[in-house]
Structure 1
């Protein structure tokens, strides 16, 4: 290089350092015109173009520079960066790999290659590259941080936390590492510590929008929804087009049941990024809660079209379809679900599976996948010290349904009848106070009724321990608004899965499941992770004081024909599967003078079921739909039906008790899983085993026989009327004594330092 060219190059370098890229570019272009084969000028011109985001030009000049010096590691490295910037990661990685062969001891090359590999989703492979960078440069702060990000993506949150802490130790004001540390702590359910990390990041940079948004996510996890909203709003004030904050704000509003506002947030996010699959999924979930199922199904499909990597969404879409009795591809979908569960994929919420599959082993596998991913055991509170024997055993029930809800309709009298001389009985309520008569009744039934809606799961677990709860009874399981993390923290020495979720929790911290020998035969115990507390008769409690309206509800008033046989099923529509419906249509086809009376969850379900009937040769008008009404009127309308037809794989539970309480016989087809054997449990407890069938042919034949032989049906009705108050099913005082005896045996095993084991009463 001659002296003039050398001076020009120095001027260009000075302009570059002064960020006067236009001047630097002009000088370098003039140099290249004068002397075309200048490596230094060409390489620097490429760098200047890259700094101005002129990546295509930069790439061209990097390649030109390499034509003059093919073994230039800086040019190869910079070319890789430019290719990555225009979305060509594979080509970028190829150039970096070439550079690494030339200089394998350059830590920055390993680091940059690792970043590209991680961006490609190959996080495990990226770890090796980050390790190489750190071995070559032990003080490589960014490498520790990004190493942690790759570990985080792989779900190894503890190791990720260690990496972030190393980065912070090297650079205490490393803002991104503080925020990332908060993310790892959040995944480890160390939520208060996570908040402290976000606050530290924000103290270093008050306009750090990612920290504001992530702080909101943690506050949301702590059930502090309004504080979370304030954080999202702060992030959006700083960056109105911050898509993640719009999405997170929608999630918080959804938790507050401000569903239309949540939809507006998701729509705002999608207006900024129409291909944001997770937001389409969140929007779909909100539409489902608004019972706009057809719209939800379309949104789920949009999300699936955009990404096949969203956990649980496949099951969510199928569940939305079941809500409207849309059975397109039903067989294929259920086969896919079974295959993916067996391979350990996060494909469906276990509660949703109960209505789709009767295999108890598959249900356990699904529950274990879900519990491990969503509600893994959290030891942060430490073990509960051994509690001394007390005069009263302290039992606590945890539920979102202490209100006008089917769970409360079953259990209210139980709480009232508990022997308060032997038991201290506490309620932890997470649901809304609906100001109903039932809410008022329940609040008086316990020694303590604690409204825990504003408390975090950790706070509830801590309060449970402080109150000395001996036995914690989860009435929610994996159903809507569950608070399973309370039990993951260990709220009590003994934890029980009871009543609402009809299956195993698949979690080692749940010690017992309450059942009976119809529900879980001795040969089926291995399908349940809990030990079984076997009650005599039936596992299901009932309230024998339920109020029935004195209003006379005639067939005409209920929209039923004056004459003819009325089959009915008041189960939720999502429990109706094609196999059950096929049986029902064959039954209607065999008895022309009959109709099927169903609950109408939504208009779309009713319309689809009518179409399904017509496709099976049955006039859709023979399906009549009942609107939801008050519990008292709902009970009374059973008197206008002749026979209740049950569903499988998810039986009638509360609805079966309603029917039997009102003297309406229930015909069931018993399955293999807990959810598919509940009606049989109830029928055994009311001594009507002849209504339990074991094959579809037997089910159909008995339904038809009872419809055409009124004497047979009347004989069963008469037995039911006699048995209703004389047999155990509705004997709530007897049931309470049996359940209390099960609690006592659990407690005695604990006091004797014995591990939980099956209990037989």
Structure 2
């Protein structure tokens, strides 16, 4: 990756893209979204309703896709959501950057960051006057690849700006979008989901690499103190045997770990309702898995740390009005989870509060979220048009 970025910097000097100092005020602001995930993917699932809710009179949206076309409904839906959908898979980085520049993109938004299949080297060519790090990568891209990172005051609290090469563009609630139109189907029977007919269900559908020994210690303590409970995890080939073995070492019958296979998103949301309580990981916490759980009506306990990826679930809980599920240390984490697992009345109150807040709290208010996001884009563009450098907004 470093070599590709170094080559890109050399190419950028040679290309020397030129940007007009102003744009006809009658023209819509052109936003380009760069990603390989414009298909059935968590990023698309989170973002699609916000794209559909955009102000079409003020913004013109362009997709620059370098991922495969999986032929599924999300791909077709995204094509409809954008004004123009550009497949750049077969273009070189230089050709892709020229295409973006030729299209007159005002703000180029990267949805990928340093994740699998990334082409951040396109960003290094600086094909747009403003470049933004958003949603796909919860941290700085460094190397001056982007001018702004879209965030919120919980994910990047006061005093954290120096950890980012980008300027902070702060949304009023949570930085993460989420749709509100997807209907959660009735839950299947527990036995259909591989769960025992009775017993408390602790759940974590984060990727297995996020499970640390310290977190697993607490989970096993919870299983030991709540008779008949199980821990419901996402299937992870190669990790399941190790996790069961580690459970036995901690005095827990390994068969109390239940592994859920991958399902289509709608079926996944339906089965999520069978969980009683979601347990977050640390220091890399739940992101889409957290908002999915909340949309399905399941509370989540999280212990945020000092970094962006450790604080996303806390941001979501604040935006849904459940800050009481944000704990400060491992002892609080264990005690809060044990309390809820052994006090059905208290857990029921939380679930009822979550159900009520789902339709009124900011987290799932797509229209308000989109307005706030577009306001950030407006401010970025106004600063640039006035000749000012990027600054926190």
Query: Same fold by TM (over 0.5)?
Result: yes
Q: Which residue of 1 aligns with 2:292?
A: 658
Segments of 5+ residues of structure 1 without an aligned counterpart are 1-348, 350-368
Q: Which residue of 2 aligns with 1:630?
A: 264
Q: Which residue of 1 aligns with 2:164?
A: 528
Contact 1:428 1:450 in 2 (8 A): yes
Q: Which residue of 2 aligns with 1:620?
A: 254
**TM-score normalised according to structure 1 size:** 0.50
Equivalent runs, 1:496-645 vs 2, <5 Å: 496-549=132-185, 552-602=187-237, 604-645=238-279
User: Who wins on radius of gyration, i.e. which is larger?
Assistant: 1
Equivalent runs, 1:263-412 vs 2, <5 Å: 376=9, 378-390=12-24, 391-412=27-48
Tell me by how many angstroms 1:695 deviates: 0.3
Contact 2:276 2:298 in 1 (8 A): yes
**Which aligned segments of 4 or more residues in structure 1 are displaced greater than 6 angstroms?**
369-372
Tell me by how many angstroms 1:585 deviates: 1.0
More strand by share: 2
Cα deviations by residue, 1:659-717 (Å, 9 ceiling, x for unpaired): 00011001101111000000000000001000001100100110000000111111111
Once residues 538 and 741 of structure 1 are traced to their aligned partners in structure 2, the CA distance between those partners, rounded to angstroms, is 15
1:758 aligns with 2:366: no
Tell me by how many angstroms 1:611 deviates: 0.4
Once residues 177 and 226 of structure 2 are traced to their aligned partners in structure 1, the CA distance between those partners, rounded to angstroms, is 35
Distance change >3 Å, CA 715–CA 427, structure 1 → 2: same
Distance change >3 Å, CA 636–CA 713, structure 1 → 2: same
Cα deviations by residue, 1:542-561 (Å, 9 ceiling, x for unpaired): 111224345x5100111111
Contact 1:433 1:439 in 2 (8 A): yes
Tell me by how many angstroms 1:587 deviates: 1.4
1:417 aligns with 2:29: no
Q: Which residue of 2 aligns with 1:156?
A: none
Cα deviations by residue, 1:78-122 (Å, 9 ceiling, x for unpaired): xxxxxxxxxxxxxxxxxxxxxxxxxxxxxxxxxxxxxxxxxxxxx
Tell me by how many angstroms 1:388 deviates: 2.2
RMSD, matched Cα: 1.5
Tell me by how many angstroms 1:738 deviates: 0.3
Please give the secondary structure, in 2, of the residue aligned with 1:449.
Answer: strand
Once residues 3 and 178 of structure 2 are traced to their aligned partners in structure 1, the CA distance between those partners, rounded to angstroms, is 30
Q: Choose between structure 1 and 2 for higher RCO, CA contacts under 8 A separated by at least 6 residues.
A: 2
Q: Which residue of 2 aligns with 1:447?
A: 83
Tell me by how many angstroms 1:563 deviates: 1.1
Cα deviations by residue, 1:403-460 (Å, 9 ceiling, x for unpaired): 0111111011111111110001000111110110111111111000011111111111
Distance change >3 Å, CA 665–CA 374, structure 1 → 2: farther
Once residues 491 and 432 of structure 1 are traced to their aligned partners in structure 2, the CA distance between those partners, rounded to angstroms, is 23
Once residues 246 and 137 of structure 2 are traced to their aligned partners in structure 1, the CA distance between those partners, rounded to angstroms, is 29
Once residues 649 and 507 of structure 1 are traced to their aligned partners in structure 2, the CA distance between those partners, rounded to angstroms, is 24
Q: Which residue of 2 aligns with 1:701?
A: 335
Q: Which residue of 1 aligns with 2:101?
A: 465
Contact 1:409 1:546 in 2 (8 A): no
1:733 to 367, 380, 390: 367
Tell me by how many angstroms 1:371 deviates: 8.7
Q: Which residue of 2 aligns with 1:745?
A: 379
Once residues 578 and 375 of structure 1 are traced to their aligned partners in structure 2, the CA distance between those partners, rounded to angstroms, is 40
Once residues 380 and 414 of structure 1 are traced to their aligned partners in structure 2, the CA distance between those partners, rounded to angstroms, is 37
Once residues 403 and 635 of structure 1 are traced to their aligned partners in structure 2, the CA distance between those partners, rounded to angstroms, is 18
Contact 2:8 2:122 in 1 (8 A): no
More helix by share: 1
Q: Which residue of 2 aligns with 1:476?
A: 112
1:718 aligns with 2:352: yes
1:680 aligns with 2:314: yes
